[in-house]
Amino acid sequence: MFRLPRHSKPLKQIAVIALAIVATGAMFETADAGKRRSRTADDSLQETISGPPVIAIVSLKDQRVTIYDAAGGSMSARVSSGRTGYETPVGVYSVLQKEEEHYSNLYDDASMPFMQRITWSGIALHSGQLPGYPASHGCVRMPDGFAQRLFPLTKVGMRVVVAYDDVAPVEISHPLLMKPTPPPALRSAVAIPMSYQDDDDNDAKAFEPDLSNWPARQAEFNALRAVAAGKQIEADSAIAEAQEVEQTIADKKEPRDRAARVLRKAEAAKKSADDRVTKADKKLASIKSDRMKKRWEDAKAKAVKSAEQAAAKVDAATEALKAAEAELKTATDEAAPTLAARDAAVAAAKEAKHKAQPISVFISLKTQRIYVRQGYEPVFDAPITISDPEKPIGTHVYTAVDYKNDGKDVRWTAVSLEHRDSDYALNDDRRHRLSDADSPPPTDVGEASAALDRITIPADIQTKLSSAVWPGSSVIISDEALSKETGKGTDFVILISTEPQGGIKKRPKQFFRGDNFMSDSADDYYYGYDRYGRRMYPRQKSFFGWW
């Protein structure tokens, strides 16, 4: 403890306080740096994972995160979630972005190593201090060594479930869960041009199904990627051609705009001359002095002459503008087929690319609709029938984790979100948590199946879904509607309205586009609470620790 002398002078007091803060900060920095450098495996509660992670489950009550692979293997660790008032919202998310070195733009430039974002408004999984209780502003802090080992294993698109009570996924089979169309005959993999292999950095990190045990499905996947690459080549060629005609249009717009400016200037000059003529007429009608009358007659004559000259300039400028507009219209009409071909090629490339990506389905009891997304973009939505619509259905996440039966069927797991204890005061009481050695209780298969029993999907929609199902695809059923966090560049985000959401609600309503923060919202604005990229100046550890 640092104690100030009773009669110390103000400047001396300030100096002592400053030295105390510096010393304390250095102490934290030294201890923290040592901990980060050690990167031991002791921070993992248990680790049996053997394949790529498919789902992460965060338990707020138990302050634990568990990562599961397709075979049921797992790795888990203690966490620190959002403190009271800034609670990490219970709900369904997915990894949207990964950044090994990241810093908070909102909370004192706090370090967020091995950041895996689950909302654009700033909620993420990342390395941070674990005091043994909820302490963050909404993020899920993980042990540093655990976060570092997990980071290269996960892919963008991995499902993340934040639950109050811990729960483990269980295997489930149900007629409503999509079955894939029959695999095609085994064929040789189609080569993808090198320039189109992982050309997008974000796509290179995106989730891909593990098809190593299913050669027919691997060939199908390779063929789809090859088709997508071919479509992208066509789109790139169409884009290049469109850029040429767009430049031609731009070249025609410049003289059109110049002619429009000349016309506006001529019209202004004519109006000014006409106003002078009108003013002279009024004066001539009111004055009786011959001398003044002669002066205003001369003024009117000059104004009339100016008006006639201005009118001639207006006529000439009007003709010039008509000619420029005609040339622009001709160029635009000639370019229309090229631009339309460009748009069609880009759309075809995007569609082909999405066919090799997992599909996400969300069924909402609140809106009585089914929503479908693929590649983080909406595909379609439609009305759907849910029996007993006045009865809650809960929130359930069904994930296609692998193929089975020689690739003719998909193996699904289910996770149901339950909150068996409504007292959030227990959130800070470790006596009620599962111990490190305890395994999370499995999801109630009967309850998860009962939710599916209440859904009726039209046959045509079921056919569309079956044609697009890959391992990594998911079906989410919930009482809730889509969260406002669901937007551009996201999978479905479902927040449970009966649980605290302080970690999102306490954030200022700013949106990010490029390098600018903006107060008005738009669908294509990313939330901007955390700065992208590495800092351009040396890192300074926040006195208050990691976010």
Give the number of C-alpha atoms closer than 13 A to the C-alpha of residue 275, restricted to the C-beta side: 6
**Spatial distance between the Cα atoms of 317 and 265, rounded to a whole number of angstroms:** 9
Q: Helices (DSSP H) in 9-163: which residue ranges?
A: 10-38, 144-150
SS3 478: strand
Q: Which fold has domain 234-350?
A: Helix Hairpins (1.10.287)
Confidence of residue 420 (pLDDT cuts 50, 70, 90): low
Sign of the alpha-carbon dihedral angle for 193, 194, 197, 198: negative
Residues linked to residue 160 through DSSP beta bridges, in sequence order: 56, 93
SS3 445: helix
Q: Helices (DSSP H) in 134-200: which residue ranges?
A: 144-150
Sign of the alpha-carbon dihedral angle for 446, 440, 433, 480: negative
Q: Residue by residue, what is the 3-state secondary structure of 290-334?
A: HHHHHHHHHHHHHHHHHHHHHHHHHHHHHHHHHHHHHHHHHHHHH
Confidence of residue 281 (pLDDT cuts 50, 70, 90): confident
**Spatial distance between the Cα atoms of 3 and 19, rounded to a whole number of angstroms:** 12
Please state whether beta strands 159-163 and 53-59 pair in parallel, antiparallel, or not at all (unpaired): parallel
Of 64-68, 431-435, 482-486, the least confident: 431-435
**Spatial distance between the Cα atoms of 133 and 105, rounded to a whole number of angstroms:** 24
Nearest to 104, CA basis, from 83, 86, 124, 129: 124
Which residues, 6+ apart, have CB-to-CB distance to 167 below 8 Å? 57, 59, 415, 416, 417, 418, 440, 441, 442, 443
Q: How far is CA 46 from CA 75, 88, 435, in A?
A: 6, 24, 12
Q: Which tens digit of pLDDT belongs to each residue from 111-121?
A: 678 999 999 98
Q: Which tens digit of pLDDT belongs to each residue from 470-517?
A: 899 999 999 999 999 998 889 999 999 999 988 887 665 544 433 333
Which tokens go with 508? 């200022």
Which residues, 6+ apart, have CB-to-CB distance to 211 below 8 Å? 217, 218, 221, 403, 471
**Spatial distance between the Cα atoms of 236 and 346, rounded to a whole number of angstroms:** 8
Average pLDDT over residues 330-335: 94
41-182+358-531 placed in CATH 3.40.50.300: no
Q: Report the phi/psi class of residue 114: left, alpha or beta, with left for phi > 0 and alpha for psi in -120 to 50.
A: left
What pLDDT is stored for residue 547 in this prediction?
Answer: 42
What pLDDT is stored for residue 532 in this prediction?
Answer: 34
CA torsion 116-122-128-130 (nearest 10°) is -110
Q: What are phi and psi of 21, to 5 degrees?
A: -65, -45
Q: Answer whether residue 292 shows pLDDT above 90.
A: no
SS3 262: helix
Q: Answer whether residue 259 shows pLDDT above 80.
A: yes
Confidence of residue 33 (pLDDT cuts 50, 70, 90): very low
**Hey, where are the domains in the chain?**
1-27, 41-182+358-531, 234-350
Confidence of residue 6 (pLDDT cuts 50, 70, 90): very low
Average pLDDT over residues 227-256: 94
What pLDDT is stored for residue 332 in this prediction?
Answer: 94
Q: What are phi and psi of 412, to 5 degrees?
A: -115, 150
**Spatial distance between the Cα atoms of 320 and 259, rounded to a whole number of angstroms:** 6
**Spatial distance between the Cα atoms of 493 and 125, rounded to a whole number of angstroms:** 15
Q: Report the phi/psi class of residue 85: left, alpha or beta, with left for phi > 0 and alpha for psi in -120 to 50.
A: left
Highest-pLDDT range among 297-301, 409-413, 535-539 = 409-413
Q: Answer whether residue 262 shows pLDDT above 50.
A: yes
Same fold, 41-182+358-531 and 234-350: no
Q: How many CB atoms lie within 10 A of CB 425?
A: 9
What pLDDT is stored for residue 102 in this prediction?
Answer: 66
| Average model confidence (pLDDT) across the chain | 80
Name the residue type at position 301: A
Burial class (CB in 10 A: 0-12, 13-18, 19+), 126: buried
SS3 144: helix
What pLDDT is stored for residue 106 in this prediction?
Answer: 55
Nearest to 499, CA basis, from 200, 244, 54, 161: 161
Nearest to 473, CA basis, from 465, 481, 483, 485: 465
Average pLDDT over residues 249-256: 94
Nearest to 202, CA basis, from 375, 394, 452, 66: 375
